[in-house]
């Protein structure tokens, strides 16, 4: 029987009607007063009328037992392989699928914990498929160009620390030194330029994606500055092996977070090196005397694996009062999860994040002590958030002095220009009160 099932017909007609009306709905919504961030907006996330309509259709389909899109592992893998141009014959000779354990945990969490709207399911699908597509593309490139794996990766300078401790700002500041090579957001999200587009074209396309994101998360830049040309975190690289804290931060997967902290991420760091080697091999003008400038708070839970892969890495560890960290961190995660779920519970997120951060920091401190005893003490330099804010160039000098790196006048001028155009709270200061909004006391955080 070739007839289309009734539910499928309902889905087709529902999406068709939304497609007809969505532009009108967006135009109507655009005429409304601008969104203003507040405590109330955090508890009740911003929803353009068109998004509400799509989510309503999603709830109807869910009631009919037809959750859309499909978030099971196999359809996601197949979709990613198709987008990456991986045929069944090529798939048979692909490297070991080390991403599978993480993918299975993520998809299980999405169906049983995240309480995703239809938009949320589409965001999750896009995030996973994009990560796997990039993974398959990198693996295919290395199979086609085996010489890439022989390239030497100069010991990187790595910025890490609890989230919201100035790592992004410091990353951007140090990236003004031309002796560093920092991965940019647009190229991490889509590293494989198979269409042969120019750098400007790729940046333009990614900025369109960012604009759509900002429609879903107004005032997000008040929490975290994002631009396509900015240096980006290694968590995007780790997504390719399905072992990235970005999944839990964006999609509300608490059990995945706990699973992740129990994993040996040695294989993921091996793939990390392959990604850097890909850029070095694919870029005709790559200068091998340049040092990779990397960053992600996730390195807190994977210090042994980081130093196993890059034994001579230079690590900058940022520090800030836990109370201030949690206020900022919970605010941004609540903002992100509010995009994908209508059941936004900041108090629940606060409890989860306090436990997760406590465990992550404890693991990092234990690992740091062990690594110091093993002779890695000189690999680290510690900097304070308040010093980054008050005297950023002084912090830069501290880092350069510790690692025996020269800070020349041209680089210093580049950094001063960056500081002049990147003042703190450039995009506004979000007003959130930890106790009132999240129901958390200082004692619980301490």
In a domain, 86, yes or no: yes
Residues 25 and 122 in one domain: no
Show the tokens assigned to 273. 């090196």
In which domain, by residue range, is 41 found? Answer: 1-68
Residues 143 and 11 in one domain: no
Task: Look at residues 132, 358, 99 and name the one whose alpha carbon lies nearest to residue 243.
Answer: 99
Predicted confidence (pLDDT) at residue 21 exceeds the cutoff of 70: no
Q: What are phi and psi of 255, to 5 degrees?
A: -70, -30
Residues 100 and 63 in one domain: no
CATH code of the domain covering residue 289? 3.40.50.300
Q: Count the domains in the chain.
A: 2
d(CA 220, CA 225): 8
What's the pLDDT at 298?
A: 97
What's the pLDDT at 151?
A: 94
What's the pLDDT at 16?
A: 54
Confidence of residue 37 (pLDDT cuts 50, 70, 90): very low
CB burial of residue 207 (10 Å; 0-12, 13-18, 19+): middle
Show the tokens assigned to 325. 């960290």
Helix, strand, coil % in the chain, rounded to nearest 5: 65, 5, 30
**pLDDT (tens digit per residue) in 85-137:** 998 888 878 888 999 999 999 999 999 999 999 999 999 999 999 999 999 99
Q: Region 344-356: what's the mean pLDDT?
A: 82
What's the pLDDT at 417?
A: 97
Are 54 and 216 spatial neighbours (Cβ–Cβ below 8 Å)? no
| Total count of residues recorded for the chain | 446
CB atoms within 10 A of CB 362: 11
Show the tokens assigned to 165. 């401790």
Least confident of 35-44, 216-225, 241-250: 35-44
d(CA 19, CA 62): 19
What's the pLDDT at 216?
A: 81
Predicted confidence (pLDDT) at residue 285 exceeds the cutoff of 90: no
Name the domain boundary from 25, 46, 68: 68
**pLDDT (tens digit per residue) in 315-336:** 999 999 888 888 778 888 888 8
Residues 284 and 150 in one domain: yes
Residues 6 or more apart in contact with residue 102 via CB below 8 angstroms: 241, 242, 243, 256, 260, 263
**pLDDT (tens digit per residue) in 141-185:** 999 999 999 999 999 999 999 998 999 999 999 999 999 999 999
Using DSSP, state whether 348 is helix, strand or coil.
helix
Residues 275 and 292 in one domain: yes
Name the domain boundary from 68, 97, 122: 68
Are 219 and 430 spatial neighbours (Cβ–Cβ below 8 Å)? yes
CB atoms within 10 A of CB 196: 6
Predicted confidence (pLDDT) at residue 414 exceeds the cutoff of 60: yes
Q: Region 324-350: what's the mean pLDDT?
A: 83
């Amino acid at each position: 029987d070739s007839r289309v099932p009734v539910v499928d017909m309902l889905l087709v007609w529902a999406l068709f009607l939304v497609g007809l009306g969505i532009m009108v709905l967006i135009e109507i919504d655009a005429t409304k007063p601008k969104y203003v961030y507040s405590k109330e907006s955090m508890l009740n996330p911003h929803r353009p009328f068109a998004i509400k309509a799509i989510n309503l259709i999603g709830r109807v389909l869910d009631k009919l037992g037809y959750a859309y899109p499909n978030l099971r592992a196999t359809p996601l893998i197949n979709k990613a392989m198709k987008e990456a141009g991986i045929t069944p014959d090529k798939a048979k000779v692909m490297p070991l699928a080390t991403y599978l354990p993480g993918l299975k945990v993520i998809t299980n969490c999405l169906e049983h914990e995240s309480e995703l709207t239809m938009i949320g399911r589409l965001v999750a699908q896009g995030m996973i498929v994009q990560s796997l597509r990039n993974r398959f593309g990198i693996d295919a490139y290395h199979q086609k160009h085996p010489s890439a794996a022989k390239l030497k990766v100069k010991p990187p300078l790595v910025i890490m620390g609890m989230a919201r401790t100035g790592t992004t700002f410091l990353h951007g500041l140090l990236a003004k030194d031309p002796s560093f090579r920092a991965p940019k957001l647009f190229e991490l999200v889509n590293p494989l330029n198979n269409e042969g587009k120019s750098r400007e074209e790729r940046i333009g396309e990614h900025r369109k994606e960012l604009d759509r994101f900002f429609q879903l998360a107004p005032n997000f830049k008040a929490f975290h500055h994002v631009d396509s040309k900015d240096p980006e975190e290694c968590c995007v690289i780790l997504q390719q092996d399905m072992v990235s804290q970005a999944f839990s931060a964006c999609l509300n997967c608490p059990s995945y977070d706990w699973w992740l902290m129990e994993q040996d991420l040695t294989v993921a760091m091996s793939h990390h090196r392959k990604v850097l080697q890909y850029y070095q091999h694919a870029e005709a003008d790559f200068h091998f005397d340049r040092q990779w400038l990397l960053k992600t708070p996730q390195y807190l839970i994977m210090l042994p694996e980081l130093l196993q892969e890059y034994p001579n890495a230079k690590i900058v560890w940022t520090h800030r009062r836990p109370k201030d960290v949690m206020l900022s961190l919970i605010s941004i995660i609540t903002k992100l999860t509010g995009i994908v779920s209508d059941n936004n519970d900041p108090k629940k997120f606060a409890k989860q994040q306090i436990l997760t951060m406590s465990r992550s920091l404890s693991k990092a401190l234990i690992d740091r002590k062990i690594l110091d005893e093993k002779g890695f003490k000189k690999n680290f330099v510690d900097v304070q958030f308040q010093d980054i804010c008050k005297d950023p160039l002084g912090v830069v000098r501290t880092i350069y002095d510790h690692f025996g790196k020269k800070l020349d006048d041209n680089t210093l001028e580049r950094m001063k220009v960056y500081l002049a155009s990147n003042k703190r709270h450039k995009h506004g200061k979000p007003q959130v009160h930890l106790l009132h909004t999240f129901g958390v006391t200082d004692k619980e955080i301490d």
